[in-house]
Structure 1
Amino acid sequence: MSDEIRPDEARRHGTPPPNTEAEAGGPPLARLGIVGLVVLLLFGVPLWTVVFSGAQWPAIARIVGSLAVVGAAAGLIVGMTKGHGRAHSDGWARIGDTLLGLVWIAFVWSVLGQVLGLVLLLVGVDDPARSRIVAAAVVVAVVALAGWGRREAMRLPRVKNVTVTLDRLGQGLDGIRIVLITDTHYGPIERSGWSADVVAEVNRQDADIVCHLGDLADGSVERRRGQVAPLERVSAKSARVYVTGNHEYFGEAQEWLDHMTSLGWDSLHNRHITVMRGGDRLVIAGVDDRTARGSGEAGHGADLTAALDGADPALPIFLLAHQPKQIDAAVAAGTDLQVSGHTHGGQIWPFGALVRLDQPVVSGLSRHGTRTQLYTSRGTGFWGPPFRVFAPSEITVLTLKSG
């Protein structure tokens, strides 16, 4: 039997379809070169800062430190390959993801350590004392931030209350409460208990509408069913609505839409529903993630025109779109409020600065055009590295007010 995995089979396994060019002749040299350079920088800068530089540690310390860093680099490569490649091993994914988070923190604070070293140099502190102070400060910072960051990632998210005024919102809908959860990323770390706690917190908010904004899970419905199961118990007075994120399109997007429907949620696959309260109505529309069209998933692709087909143009529009970058279409369609996730608020500082290069907003409420507002959640869970550093997770409660 052939070992080849067809794109449709890859989707059922919850992994991206293989690149045929890479399968035939191996990864392009340019890609390997970029990956190699990134790994060298991520591990090389902390190694230089803590072990070498001008600290003049004993030879045994330099040898042990070097071996530890080389071992961590190898663990990262193997963990990411086996965890997120064809094998899709949750155990290896946990190793790779954890090492990725740790080395990012170590890299960032090693760079900042070099700044500290420059300050110490300017005030007259010489080596090896200067470099040893820097090394100690970096180690303490990395250990402290890694411990705190993991706790922040695994904790029950804080509830964030936000009031949004919409000029076209009818008086009957004034004060309507909408709870947002997003980017739960149920994956290699078993988080069924955390999922149940999130649902309990959501239910305490007494919401009219509950939204899941995508990136529900990493992997297939079969693998993540248990972690997602508590979402069936989410309560809302008027509606529970869900849209796909980009990670659904690494695997089983349609299967996840169908599964959420089976749990009693409205899966807004380029469509809308209308809710009524106090005699006034609100259009709640949802579109596929912006990556859907290129995923190979038949019948998928963000289509706001289709989502609003048949909607009364005089009614206010509340739009679910996974990525803030989808705001341009929302503005063109006269949307009143778009809600998004995707950014995680950067997740591990200062990654938010890199996110901002791709997305118009990293978190919070912003205005676009003359009518449209956008709320971007920092996310309820985390992706990959089980750390959140200066980017806390959230369960968002939006209270809509009539203008």
Structure 2
Amino acid sequence: MTDTSEARSADGAAHATRLRSLMRYIPLIAPVLLWAVPCWVLLHAGQDWPLPVAVGGSALFALGLAVMPIAMVRGHGRRQQDRAAVVGDTLLGASWVLFTWSVLLGVLLYPALGAADVGDGQDRSRIVTWGVLGVTAALLAWGYAEARRVPRVRRIDVPLPRLGAGLDGTRVVLVTDTHYGPLDRARWSERVCEKVNTLEADLVCHTGDIADGTAARRRAQAAPLGTVRATRARVYVTGNHEYYSEAQGWVDLMGELGWEPLRNRHILLERGGDTLVVAGVDDVTAESSGLAGHRAHLAGALDGADPALPVLLLAHQPKFIDRAAEGGVDLQLSGHTHGGQIWPFHHLVRMDQPAVAGLCRHGARTLLYTSRGTGFWGPPFRVFAPSEITLLVLRSPQRSPGPPAP
């Protein structure tokens, strides 16, 4: 190694160390920014509000900053208090939307008003304030309705060059990231399963993050999954949230409900004389959980499978696609991203994952489909990231001409 390469390596290591040090402070810095920036933009950026308005508004922002982290810790920490989780999650979502539009309208609307010679500085500042509050209120109301509704079905035809003609038209339904949690969604769960049953699926897949909480605690919300119907199989893989909540308990419950947990193993789906390998791996966080026997192991999942057969792989996180492509997988189904859930959070998700939503190709053979998720995590809002139940119709290049599947 040359002196130059050694110096570059040392600089890279130092940069990585500084980045890790900075990341430790993000949980402290982020809440302050989420509440302080809107407070400044709405109350103190030239509006000249009467003193009671300025003081009272600032006190409300300070209260939000104090309550949100406490409620989040009580709700999602060791105490697992559902009411606290609802309060903390709601404040988190509301503050994110308020922060986003305070920045956007403060940066874009105020100069536009000035360019249009609308009022004086105080008038423009107050217009920005009312604009931010109006947009935030509208988006939170709409986002709450979007989060709580039964997802729409998104149908996609997926061409797989190695798929045999007998498997053409195979209907695969994907649900993922149901995140049963502090807000009781047992009735919502029933309605989701009813909709899935209208799709006449050959294979139904759940790619993890069933719930936030243990299987014993969220059993009533998850129970309707036992009513899901498929002509061939119902299969499931773990997500990262299972490893926060006794993952083995969820594996056991899904088995009890009639789903087949694909823990680094595969099954064969046969139709029309052709065969599809349906494989699954534990989440990529499984090994670090310390739970014995849990890890993401693609070689184990494909052990014994004929390499000439097409492979459909279930892996919770899209980032597993690099290993899937190396292993010759034809189609990977994933969730995890929620499509960002609350715009523009998808930009941050994209820093960690190779895809946020939809179908994309990786390498010469491998396709990745990333669902925006069926439920929601934490904040009960979905803004410009609608939930989905996905119907993937597998297509073979060898299919005979005829009408498309319904």
- TM-score past 0.5 threshold: yes
Structure 2 counterpart of 1:127, from 86, 108, 121: 121
Q: Does 2:152 match 1:141?
A: no
Q: Does 2:155 match 1:161?
A: yes
Structure 2 counterpart of 1:207, from 182, 201, 212: 201
Are 1:246 and 1:292, in contact at CA under 8 Å, matched by a contact in 2?
A: yes
Partner Cα distance (1:35, 1:308) in 2: 39
Partner Cα distance (1:381, 1:361) in 2: 19
Q: Does 2:231 match 1:234?
A: no
Structure 2 counterpart of 1:388, from 377, 382, 395: 382
The 5-angstrom pairing of residues 285-300 of structure 1 reads 285-300=279-294
Partner Cα distance (1:123, 1:171) in 2: 63
The 1:387–1:319 alpha-carbon spacing in structure 2 relative to 1, beyond 3 Å, is: same
Q: Does 2:178 match 1:184?
A: yes
Give the corresponding residue for 2:18: none
Query: Matched residue of 1:374: which SS?
Result: strand
- Displacement, 1:124? 2.7
Unmatched segments (≥5 aa) in structure 1: 1-28
Partner Cα distance (1:360, 1:94) in 2: 30
Q: Deviations over 1:330-365 (max 9, x none)?
A: 101100000000000000000001111111100000
The 1:160–1:51 alpha-carbon spacing in structure 2 relative to 1, beyond 3 Å, is: same
Query: Matched residue of 1:119: which SS?
Result: helix
Give the corresponding residue for 2:15: none
Are 1:282 and 1:318, in contact at CA under 8 Å, matched by a contact in 2?
A: yes
- Displacement, 1:35? 2.9
- Displacement, 1:32? 7.6
Give the corresponding residue for 1:364: 358
Query: Matched residue of 2:121: which SS?
Result: coil
Q: CA RMSD in A?
A: 1.3
Decide which moves more: 58-67 or 222-231. Answer: 58-67
Query: Matched residue of 1:163: which SS?
Result: strand
Partner Cα distance (1:38, 1:358) in 2: 18
Percent of pairs identical after alignment? 58
Q: Deviations over 1:163-200 (max 9, x none)?
A: 00001111111001000000000111100000000000
Q: Does 2:300 match 1:306?
A: yes
Give the corresponding residue for 1:247: 241
State the one-letter code of the partner of 1:89: Q
Unmatched segments (≥5 aa) in structure 2: 1-20, 398-406
Partner Cα distance (1:268, 1:85) in 2: 29
- Displacement, 1:121? 2.3
- Displacement, 1:78? 1.4
- Displacement, 1:36? 3.0
TM-score by length of 1: 0.91
State the one-letter code of the partner of 2:102: S
Partner Cα distance (1:52, 1:154) in 2: 35
Give the corresponding residue for 1:218: 212
Partner Cα distance (2:264, 2:206) in 1: 15
Give the corresponding residue for 2:346: 352
Query: Matched residue of 1:124: which SS?
Result: coil
Decide which moves more: 232-241 or 61-70. Answer: 61-70
- Displacement, 1:123? 2.9
Partner Cα distance (1:31, 1:182) in 2: 29
State the one-letter code of the partner of 1:97: D
Query: Matched residue of 2:395: which SS?
Result: strand
Decide which moves more: 86-95 or 114-123. Answer: 114-123
Q: Does 2:41 match 1:42?
A: no
Q: Deviations over 1:36-66 (max 9, x none)?
A: 3212210011111111111111111111101
- Displacement, 1:157? 0.3
Give the corresponding residue for 2:65: 73
Query: Matched residue of 2:32: which SS?
Result: helix
Give the corresponding residue for 1:9: none
Give the corresponding residue for 1:111: 103
Partner Cα distance (1:281, 1:197) in 2: 32
Residue-pair matches, total:
376
